[in-house]
Amino acid sequence: MGSGQTVAVFGAYGHTGRFVVAELRERGFLPVLSGRDAEKLKTLAHETGLDARPASVDDPASLDRALAGAAAVINCAGPFAVTASPVIEAALRAGVPYLDVAAEIEANVDTFAHFADRARDAGVLIVPAMAFFGGFGDLLATAAMGDWTVADEAHIAYGLSNWHPTAGTREAGAVSRQRRDGRYVRYTGGRLEYTDVATATQDWAFPAPVGRRSVIAGFTMADVVTIPSHLAIPEVRTYMTVEAARDIAAPDTPAPAAVDEQGRSAQTFLVDVLVRADGAERRAVARGQDIYAVTAPLVVEALGRVLGGRTDAVGVVSAGALFDAADFLGALSPHISLELRP
């Protein structure tokens, strides 16, 4: 439990940020609400009775005030291409751990490239992509690997029933597309590669209850950054069900709508992870509800382990490298079901 430790949440009033604030309170932490929109912060502070500290990525002093006295900071504000570096800089100045929920491939690459040495030298831990895309796939792939130290390839297939994107998801996607100049990205031959070759459709045999579905092959997510950061796998490929890919591409797809008292949407997911080495295969399968809602227990579980002294790592470290993956995923049992198939 959090034992009343103060945690700054940047982007607290966003869709995912609200889930994170609620999860922090549930686990005994004291969230400090922060973000760029003072009016939204004021409204959330009134609803929750929590302290609000407006801050802007263009104003380092305001970020310092937001983090004052905090044991850590969680960044929930996209696009992370804009917010990650300034909030990490503030965490380095404060000397506290930084975690974010970035799904943007390029933003995560930047975090590893620009802050690995500085964070290590400062004795500060930075955990990027501690979310459904990036951190979750990394944990599943690491758990599937078991005692393997290397593999030939990893495949992460996302069986989403639908994907009603938040405004933040749409904005982050637009930034990523602009940075890629319309190209596609993949991880092959042990490196990220940008290409004009379009993605293709194929069938994927998901476990029950999803079954065989059409997926977009090469629908590349942040797993291609997190997994290779610590696992020797030269080919990392991600896939998305066609229906979900169409949803997020359509400009008129509505935002997520709550269907339960926790604020979760009706969206369900099945993540099927397959790793291969020398002709052998291992699998990890996870099922749950609402990719945005499940990000909250993911990042808060990570925070609890970091602040609870269950790791002494510093620098920029992905979830799979930082934690015992199978144990971590087991701790999420109220939120996901997990099956490992050695």
Rg (CA), the chain: 19
CATH topology for 135-290+333-341 is Dihydrodipicolinate Reductase; domain 2 (3.30.360)
pLDDT score, position 293:
98
pLDDT score, position 139:
98
pLDDT score, position 198:
79
Residue 33 main-chain phi, psi, to 5 deg: -80, 130
CB count within 10 Å of CB 5 equals 18
In this prediction the pTM is: 0.97
Q: From the first residue on, what is the mean pLDDT of each consecutive set of 10 residues in the chain (342 residues)?
A: 88 98 98 97 97 98 98 97 98 98 97 98 98 98 97 98 96 91 93 90 95 95 98 98 96 97 97 97 98 98 97 97 98 96 82
CATH topology for 6-131+295-326 is Rossmann fold (3.40.50)
pLDDT score, position 75:
98
Closest Cα partner for 318 from 189, 75, 157, 141?
141
pLDDT score, position 1:
63
pLDDT score, position 182:
83
Amino acid identity for residue 7 in this structure: V
pLDDT score, position 341:
86
Domain extent listing, the chain = 6-131+295-326, 135-290+333-341
Q: How far apart are CA 269 and CA 286, in angstroms?
A: 8
Give every CB contact of residue 119 below 8 A, 6+ residues apart in sequence.
Answer: 88, 92, 125, 126, 314, 315, 316
Q: Are 35 and 44 in contact (CB under 8 A)?
A: no
3-class secondary structure for the chain? CCCCCEEEEECCCCHHHHHHHHHHHHCCCEEEEEECCHHHHHHHHHHHCCCEEECCCCCHHHHHHHHCCCCEEEECCCCHHHHHHHHHHHHHHHCCCEEECCCCHHHHHHHHHHHHHHHHHHCCEEECCCCHHHHHHHHHHHHHHCCCCECCEEEEEEEECCCCCCHHHHHHHHHHHHHHCCCEEEEECCEEEEECCCCEEEEEECCCCCCEEEEEECCCCCHHHHCCCCCECCEEEEEEEHHHHHHHHCCCCCCCCCCCCCCCCCCEEEEEEEEEECCEEEEEEEEEECHHHHHHHHHHHHHHHHHCCCCCCCEECCHHHHCCHHHHHHHCCCCEEEEEEC
Closest Cα partner for 284 from 201, 181, 207?
207
pLDDT score, position 247:
97
